[in-house]
Amino acid sequence: MASSNAGKIREIARLLDGLGVEIVPQSELGVVDADETGTTFVENSLIKARHASDATGLPAIADDSGLVVDALDGRPGVYSARYAGPDATDDDNVDQLLEELEEVPDGSRGAAFHCAASFIMPGNSEAIIAEGVWRGTILRARRGHGGFGYDPIFLDPESGLSGAELNPDEKNARSHRGQALRKLAALLRKQFS
């Protein structure tokens, strides 16, 4: 798995359970994070998957995801993980976003999490790609203690709960990453069955 994010690794391992593969974080194989130089979630996902596969000689799965806020013309987008700066924590990024949206009325706080997931075989330039989108709104304050990233301020309209209030199974059933990885798993089953 082309990621070192522990929360993301846990989510992905749960979603790909039953595929008959072992998910190994790239950090356990001595692979450092790739430079995310793409301008889209798909480009960054492919960059990370190719980087991990080239470094290990193993098949690699990567995802790139982020929060697209309507009132901010799509920001933070592909810069979601480093929105408040290159060394920003999740809390720093949430604080930055809440500050920018402080004057935005409740009816204009629409947002969506986007995810692109990709699978690469060693030496193979053909990737398998799947995408997912989770629409919601941005809350005015944090709610809940689960999840990671922007989950505490992202309101799921179906449940009325923040991403951080959903249990892992509920979150995976709705989330952008859950959607993308279920699609990717189906494509992998089809490709390799």
Q: Any idea which residues carry the catalytic annotation?
A: 64
CA 83, CA 49: separation in Å to the nearest integer?
A: 22
Candidates 139, 142, 151, 155; CA nearest to 177 is 151
Alpha-carbon distance 177 to 2, whole Å?
Answer: 14
Chain centre distance of CA 84: 17
Q: Half-sphere exposure (CA, 13 Å, Cβ side) for 71?
A: 17
Spatial distance between the Cα atoms of 3 and 106, rounded to a whole number of angstroms = 34
State the angle between helix axes of 176-192 and 6-15 in degrees (0 to 180), rounded to the nearest 10: 50
Please spell the DSSP secondary structure of 93-113, one letter per residue.
Answer: HHHHHHHHTTTS-GGG-EEEE
What one-letter code names the amino acid at 102?
A: E
